[in-house]
Structure 1
Amino acid sequence: MTGPAPTRRSGRWIERWDPEDEAFWRATGERIARRNLWFSVLSEHIGFSVWTLWSVLVLFMGPEYGLTPADKFLLTSVVTLVGAVVRVPYTFAVAVFGGRNWTIISASLLLIPTVAAFVVMEPGTSYSAFLLVGLLAGIGGGNFASSMTNINAFFPLRKKGWALGLNAGGGNIGVPVIQLVALAIIGASGGPRVLLGIYIPLIVVAAVLAALFMDNLASVRNDTGAARDAARDPHTWIMSVLYIGTFGSFIGYSFAFGQVLTNGFGRTPLQAAYLTFIGPLLGSLVRPLGGRLADRYGGARITLWNYVGMAAATAVLVVASVQKSLPLFVSVFVVLFVLSGLGNGSTFKMIPGIFQAKALAEGLEGEAAVAHARRLSGASMGLIGAVGALGGVGINLAFRQSFLSYGSGTGAFVAFLAYYGVCFVVTWAVYLRRTAARVPATTTASEAEARLSYAEV
């Protein structure tokens, strides 16, 4: 027996969507969900490239631009900050406009910062103009939040780790791809406007393909109460702390890696460009693996041991930074990127699982529990994604202060090491520590079971 096909209305809206129904999923749901996933990945990929545009544009900005290393770190911090802030409204735009419709709009908006950068990117432009255009580029960071919220609604809970990891990983690859393109252009003695000229038509292509092949889900309706409820739930903010450690590291290091190599190890822009793309590339590729491992073993367990690895790698980076050992520094930094990618996948897999467990603990069953979990997890993803991206701001500001105070990034790495230790403790204490022995006598069996089930999320 197969489930009925989803009913539609004009404008590529799907009225009925029930991915938890196995028959429906096999008959039509999986095919539609996968199609939307691929074109969501494309749009998010371009969004990440535009967001991290200035991480490579600063490599083109030699002495003739008159900017200090501190100026460049501040510029990339501003871009990261805007990308974090706009993730909140982008999350709820999906419910207002529809996933397909908002993907078209958000992709088209990327033309504004790209064309603006094309206009101002030349020596003699004021620093304030660069900061303003950098602010515009931040909107590329919002595409992640709307894309993840949209794709979260398409897939059943048992597939969310893989789907969200693939969606996010495909978007994250926009970071190393634009760095690779910049490397080729710098190697060919081309200028920054060549890079921008390549991306302007790609933005148009992404918007057109979203219009042709994506769908809106009528079941994802505007619900301002979901945002309020998600903001009141302590797990939203606990997961935000953990996501700062994983995604904040990924995006912060992506912006800062090239500058650390040029300022801390005396590499030329071309020499730095040969190295900067490797870490973000591998970190993006393993994000779906992090989600897949979380599907199998539990996101909390993967996240916990991932923070052990990130702390160990950062400790080695402190040694490499003090000794000025470039081979050790680069190799371990790449390992840190990989671990941040794994952690990105495992932490985001935890979010729908946590709210599903809470729904069951509150006595909801079947579709009611699924709908409740989907409602809160979709809303919380935007908030968690926004706060997590703020970690990238902190990383760039930490590097800026470390270079101003000590002339190297060593002080920043010590701070990052301490933060990963905090994340390890939080993950263990909230999601893995067995608390059944201290559960009050009035606690129901379902509530007690929900407390223990967080290890499986």
Structure 2
Amino acid sequence: MTAPSTQRGGRWIEQWDPEDPVFWREKGESVARRNLLFSILSEHIGFSIWTLWSVLVLFMGPEYGIDPAGKFFLVAMATAVGAFVRVPYTFAVARFGGRNWTVFAAGMLLVPTIAAFVVMEPGTSYTTFMLVALLTGVGGGNFASSMTNINSFFPLHRKGWALGLNAGGGNIGVPVVQLIALLVIATAGAGQPRVLLGIYLPLIVLSAFCAWRYMDNLAPVRNDTGAARESVKDAHTWIMSFLYIGTFGSFIGYSFAFGLVLQNQFDRTPLQAASLTFIGPLLGSLIRPVGGLLADRFGGARITLWNFAAMAAATGVVVLASVRESLPVFLVGFVSLFVLTGLGNGSTYKMIPGIYQAKAVALGLSGEEAAAYGRRLSGAAIGLIGAVGAVGGLGINLAFRQSFMTSGSGTGAFVAFLAFYALCFAVTWAVYLRRPAAPAPSGAGDEDTAETRRQPAYAGV
């Protein structure tokens, strides 16, 4: 039986086997695609609300009495909450059902949006703005629950495609809210933030209704607490979390900060800043699947390694442009950084299942047993890696805040980011690509074995 059941109080599918080709062809694929479509819609709106303050601060002119450091702190708090709620959101799908949780998570977006609608005017206290910014963080959790849910609907050979669409469609919520803000500023003026919020309120209701009407819960999905504990103890989970800070953390942090940097370092008006801020997040979102495709062909570790080298180089361009106050060169370097964060998001996510598959082989497992081990551990690790990676956005905005407080520009922050990308490059090489020392030869018959041992253990992940 694959029809939804109402015996548990919702649209529950009691049996689900996407790896069965007959089941997948006759019934599973259409159900999975339908759930993917409305999952993308909900996650897309979630990203827009999470990054709402990246554009609301553009509406906050001198009459609000908030300096650049204060604005960077507002967006940093939204980033932080979005990172931390990813952990409970990851496990909520199995506890409450993918459809049920999507409806709840979508509906929760009304809280920060209505709150912002009420308080967005001069004279509101900074503490109030801070509390409302914290509320928008719930939008960041939608990514974790959405990815966990969609991962369960698709067979192994289609997961990359499905998760890529889901992640990319969600990430595009960032440039879309920025484009809508540009339209509002251009037509209604920089003093009308409530117009932007009024546009999103019915969209949130629509996404919650569509999830309620068209999505399903999968009864076989259960939380594997043993796998979660095991992944927490595994060093690779934390190494990949560190690398994901460099890719996704940069993407979300720069998405929040781009408009503020343009306003405060290059004296752009709100309209001028809004006309540029969407470009980087849009390109970074669209290119994310390309990073996965390149990783499929050349190995995720290799693509990630050279991607960090390119990110360091692009940051060097940004530092030079920042020192010389050259806006055109700054834009070239900063937009290049966005593109590279997108590529890195795809390649790092490709590494995770490969690492645990390699570990399974190292443990002596093979065939389906090795594949099951890899799926179990990588599935548990992905939620934690996604949460820790998002914390990088907090670090980026706090670094910008400190840099503008001390020097009035973002140059110091960019120098710190360059050093961090160099460290990410070194860690990727040392852990996943460094060749072990060649063993002493013990005979002609051992040549093949010796050569195999000199290969980097995780080069193909």
| Pairwise TM-score range, normalised by the shorter structure | over 0.9
Whole-angstrom distance in 2 between the partners of 1:153 and 1:432: 31
Aligned letter for 2:460? Answer: E
Pairing 1:300-311 to 2, within 5 Å after superposition: 300-311=301-312
Shift of 1:298: 2.1
Report the Cα distance in structure 1 between the residues aligned to 2:457 and 2:162, rounded to whole angstroms: 22
- Once the two structures are superposed, residues 93-119 of structure 1 have per-residue CA deviations (whole angstroms, 9 ceiling, x without a partner) of 111112222111111111111111111
The alpha carbon displacement at 1:201 in A equals: 0.8
Partner SS for 2:124: coil
Q: How does 1:80-119 map to 2 (within 5 A)?
A: 80-119=79-118
Q: Give how far 1:366 is off.
A: 4.5
Q: Does 1:57 align with 2:60?
A: no
Change (3 A) 1:360 1:12: farther
Q: CA deviation at 1:363?
A: 3.8
Are the equivalent residues in 1 in contact too, given 2:105–2:142 (CA < 8 A)? yes
- Select the residue among 9, 19, 29 that pairs with 2:5: 9
Q: Is the Cα–Cα contact under 8 Å of residues 77 and 397 in structure 1 kept in the other structure?
A: yes
Is contact 1:306-1:339 (8 Å) kept?
yes
Shift of 1:210: 1.3
Q: Is the 8 A contact 1:162 1:292 kept in 2?
A: no
Deviation at 1:192, TM superposition (A): 0.7
1:455 positional shift: 2.3
Q: Aligned residue for 1:215?
A: 216
Q: Where does residue 152 of structure 1 map in the other structure?
A: 151
- Please tell me whether the aligned partners of residues 83 and 141 of structure 2 are also in contact (alpha carbons under 8 angstroms): yes
How far apart are residue 160 of structure 1 and its match? Answer: 3.1
Equivalent residue letter for 1:334: V
Residue pairs, 1:387-398, within 5 angstroms? 387-398=388-399
Identify the residue that residue 186 of structure 1 maps to in structure 2.
185
Name the Cα RMSD after superposition.
Answer: 2.2
Q: Deviations over 1:49-69 (max 9, x none)?
A: 000000100000001111011
Superposed displacement of residue 140, structure 1: 0.4
- Alignment map for 1:238-249 (pairs within 5 Å): 238-249=239-250
Larger Rg: 2
Equivalent residue runs for 1:254-273 within 5 Å: 254-273=255-274
Q: Deviations over 1:155-207 (max 9, x none)?
A: 33443333222211111111100000000000112411111111111111111
- CA–CA distance in 2 between the matches of 1:78 and 1:159? 36
SS of the aligned residue for 1:222 comes to coil
* Residue 248 (structure 1) shift: 0.6
- Distance in 1 (CA, whole Å) between partners of 2:162 and 2:424 is 25
Q: Structure 1 residue 7: deviation in Å?
A: 6.4
Describe the SS at the equivalent of 1:124: coil
Deviates more, 1:48-57 or 1:418-427: 418-427
> Is residue 128 of structure 1 aligned with residue 127 of structure 2?
yes
Structure 2 length-normalised TM: 0.91
Please give the secondary structure, in 2, of the residue aligned with 1:455.
coil
Identity among equivalent positions (%) equals: 73
Query: Are the counterparts in 2 of residues 162 and 289 from structure 1 also a CA contact under 8 Å?
Result: no
Aligned partner letter, 1:12: R
Please give the alpha-carbon distance, in whole angstroms, between the structure 2 residues aligned to 1:412 and 1:182. Answer: 26
TM-score (norm 1): 0.92
Alpha-carbon distance in 2 for matches of 1:156, 1:436: 39
- Tell me the amino acid that sits aligned with residue 30 of structure 1: E
**Counterpart in the other structure of 1:47:** 46
CA shift at 1:361, angstroms? 3.2
Whether the aligned pair in 1 keeps the contact of 2:4 and 2:216 (CA below 8 Å) is no
* CA deviation after TM superposition for structure 1 residue 213, in Å: 2.1
Using the alignment, how far apart are the partners of 2:369 and 2:77 within structure 1?
42
| CA distance in structure 2 between the partners assigned to 1:437 and 1:123 by the alignment | 68
In structure 2, stretches of 5+ residues that fail to align are 443-448
1 CA distance for matches of 2:195 and 2:459? 49
Q: What is the aligned residue count?
A: 446
**2:46 and 2:142 in contact (8 A); partners too:** yes
Name the residue aligned to 2:317.
316
What is the correspondence of 1:18-29 to structure 2 with a 5 Å cutoff? 18-29=17-28
